[in-house]
Amino acid sequence: MDKLKLYFDGASVDKILRTSVSLFGREDRFCWPFRLDGIYTIKTGYHVARNEKSLQNNNPSTSVDLKFLRQEIWNLREPETIEHAWLLCPWTRAAWFIAQIQCCHMALTVSSFEKWMMELLGKMRLNAGAIYDLVWEVWKARNLAIYQKINPNPIMVIHKAKLMELEFAKMIEEPVKHATTSVGATAAVFRDHNRTLLSGINSTIVVASPLAVEALAVRAALIMSQNFLMQKVIIESDNQILIQALKSHASVAEIQVVLDDIRHLTRGIPNCGFTWVPREANSLAHEVARLTHQGALHQNWVMHKPISIRNILRKDNLAVSMLGNNS
């Protein structure tokens, strides 16, 4: 930690500590954290850039400056002005007019696109992102008209811009989820077919999300299973995203390194499966993790169980006996 602080700023140290690494020397690869599959797309890049800008300036009337506008809007290569392309062309005028803001542009009232945008935001105090979405869709529609001879449809442009705004609203909180680091705890408990507690592992970690914690716990459990030379293992977790990814071999960018390690470890166990259980059925592991996080669990806790763990085991044993009697 001290060495990291010598060479990196606080924000970078935070990100480094939250980065999962492979235990088997796998090669590094680029991963885009704002998509589940880790693949970068222009659309998500645009959304993230917009979100970062909005976080810096929350006031709509001051959130856009001329420099940022120049960076956001691609320069036209056609022999026409930006003002004509985005504001004064007959079909773009129709799009702006029938949009929610209902602007009616004329050559006499538009001196430059940037000044017009700043004045609009200042007077109407609109969400800058909504206007950006409309500009973006206008730009795409003009490209289709020029290069593929597809006639632009103002109503369709407005519809697509609205969909983009709604999509952005859903994912705007995603970068925030990756913004903080805290100390958490992992726990895995080993039980036989009668759900009798055999052993357990637990540790404190620097954590990025509950999903990452669960994935690290599964990896630790599989390592211990191999050390015990177990031939048949069923991993239970109450995290649906993790179990679905393991069952379908899907990618999850946030934990991909750990997923790859888990899949590597399962190849060393003859019979290994994964199943989802409700949180209530995973209460023992959660209690071990909670006590570990609080520093209230001694090293030999399996042999000398705390009262809360004994109570959970007693309740589980009662449930198993009742199930056996009913069958």
181-228, pLDDT tens digit by residue? Answer: 567 889 999 999 888 999 999 998 887 788 999 999 999 999 999 999
Contact status, residue 194 vs residue 228, Cβ threshold 8 Å: no
- What pLDDT shows up at residue 29? 79
Q: What is the pLDDT of residues 118-158, one digit of tens each?
A: 666 555 544 555 666 777 787 788 778 777 888 888 778 77
Average pLDDT over residues 299-313: 93
* pLDDT bucket at 63, cuts 50 / 70 / 90: very low
For residue 258, being part of any structural domain is answered with yes
Residue 225, H or E segment: helix 210-227
Select from 174, 209, 242 the last residue of a domain.
174
Containing domain of residue 165, as a range? 42-174
- What pLDDT shows up at residue 42? 78
Q: What is the pLDDT of residues 243-283, one digit of tens each?
A: 999 999 988 888 999 999 999 999 999 999 999 999 888 99
Q: Which residue has the higher pLDDT, 321 or 230?
A: 230
Same domain membership, residue 204 and residue 156: no
How many residues are given for the chain? Answer: 327
Residue 290, H or E segment: helix 283-294
Annotate 172-197 with b (16+ C-beta within 10 A) or e (fewer).
beeeeeeeeeeebbbbbbbbeeeeeb
Q: Which residue has the higher pLDDT, 279 or 26?
A: 279
For residue 281, being part of any structural domain is answered with yes
List CB contacts of 207: < 8 A, sequence separation 6 or more: 18, 181, 182, 183, 184, 213
Identity of residue 158: I
Same domain membership, residue 135 and residue 50: yes
Check whether 169 has a pLDDT greater than 80: no
For residue 1, being part of any structural domain is answered with no
Same domain membership, residue 152 and residue 270: no
Same domain membership, residue 155 and residue 230: no
For residue 48, being part of any structural domain is answered with yes
Tokens of 157: 């442009």
Check whether 68 has a pLDDT greater than 50: yes
Let me know the angle formed at the C-alpha of 146 by 140 and 147, rounded to the nearest 5 degrees. 90
Rounded Cα gap, residues 177 and 168, in angstroms: 15
Select from 139, 174, 209 the last residue of a domain.
174
**What percent of the chain clears pLDDT 90, i.e. is strictly above it?**
30
Same domain membership, residue 230 and residue 132: no
**What percent of the chain clears pLDDT 70, i.e. is strictly above it?**
69
How many structural domains are present in the chain? 2
Check whether 71 has a pLDDT greater than 60: no
Residue 99: closest CA among 149, 27, 186, 157:
157
- What pLDDT shows up at residue 129? 57
- What pLDDT shows up at residue 178? 44
Let me know the angle formed at the C-alpha of 188 by 222 and 267, rounded to the nearest 5 degrees. 10
For residue 35, being part of any structural domain is answered with no
Contact status, residue 68 vs residue 284, Cβ threshold 8 Å: no
Same domain membership, residue 194 and residue 62: no
Same domain membership, residue 194 and residue 112: no
- What pLDDT shows up at residue 144? 83
For residue 140, being part of any structural domain is answered with yes
Q: Which residue has the higher pLDDT, 236 or 112?
A: 236
For residue 124, what are the CA distances in angstroms to 127, 157, 278? 9, 22, 49
Tokens of 199: 């052993």
Same domain membership, residue 319 and residue 191: yes
Tokens of 147: 């290069």
Same domain membership, residue 286 and residue 165: no
Same domain membership, residue 210 and residue 83: no
Mean pLDDT of the chain: 78
Q: Structure pTM?
A: 0.58
- What pLDDT shows up at residue 246? 94
Q: Specify the residue for token string 């998509």.
A: 35
Same domain membership, residue 95 and residue 140: yes
Rounded Cα gap, residues 266 and 295, in angstroms: 31
Select from 174, 191, 225 the last residue of a domain.
174
CATH of the domain at 221: 3.30.420.10
- What pLDDT shows up at residue 182? 63
For residue 28, being part of any structural domain is answered with no
Phi-psi region of 250 (alpha: psi -120 to 50; beta: other; left: phi over 0): beta
Rounded Cα gap, residues 290 and 284, in angstroms: 10
* pLDDT bucket at 99, cuts 50 / 70 / 90: low
Q: Provide the H-helix boundaries in 8-127.
A: 10-18, 42-56, 66-72, 82-83, 90-98, 113-124
Tokens of 289: 């993790």
For residue 12, being part of any structural domain is answered with no
Same domain membership, residue 321 and residue 190: yes
Contact status, residue 197 vs residue 181, Cβ threshold 8 Å: no
* pLDDT bucket at 66, cuts 50 / 70 / 90: very low
Rounded Cα gap, residues 212 and 222, in angstroms: 16
Torsion angle of alpha carbons 200, 202, 208, 212, nearest 10°? -20
